[in-house]
Structure 1
């Protein structure tokens, strides 16, 4: 593929399971959607909205709002994943999910990998950083140490390392 100077390219990567759940079709390789399809038109509107943004936090807000309202699963998410996500939301460690879901840790890892293209532990890391981002966005945020404690990090340094690994910024620069 050859792109001319100034060309902007955007894409959405879905795992095979999430692609099948969202659009009732799996694509074994990167695939362009027909421009006339409703999904392609919806994605084009999203892309144009994102192009108008310069702030990554605003882009994430737009993507989160779009995914909450624009995506309707065609195939239900497995109950074990739903239970695991609820546990992670309640700060239950990823290593203890097997006790709450009735599946072994390895079974959960395979299920997460298939549906989310990540491990339960990595999902938990993202969820903790997301919670910290929300707390930092408050008009008068708590101290970084208090946020780290509230988000189940072992300490402020741990939160900063995880934050930087996922967002490429420190909490102080957010």
Structure 2
């Protein structure tokens, strides 16, 4: 199973919600905090870095609201625990700059995940191949032709009714011509 298929499935499924989402959000802050504490004596200058992958996971699995919550809490925790002077919120301009860069990066991650989720939900599922019926449904609305498939999201706009009807007639004529030519060759 490829990474694209895995991401498509993760973004296509509804995000975790309810008490489970809050448990996962707490873990998305606690785990990078613990990791950062473990290397605190050896690593400096990376107060916010361990939180970035967890924000991505939160955005994919929990949705944008919980990911935003994880971002804000992570920024506060990192500022208080890992930027000197410790336990002093935003002690100087360096703290503020680092936090703004972290918040902007996290916002971009959350927005990109949300856009990918919307793109996946707005695209119809591909029609199954083979001899089985696909269940394609054609419809008209305000002079526009649409096609949809059973189990797909929103209908796909094909274009103006007159244009689509002409293309369909041309397609049917080509099919008939192909059948006649194949019948004559046999």
What's the TM-score bracket when you normalise by the shorter of the two chains? under 0.3
Structure with more of its chain in strand, by fraction? 2
Structure showing greater Rg: 2
TM-score normalized with structure 1 length: 0.28
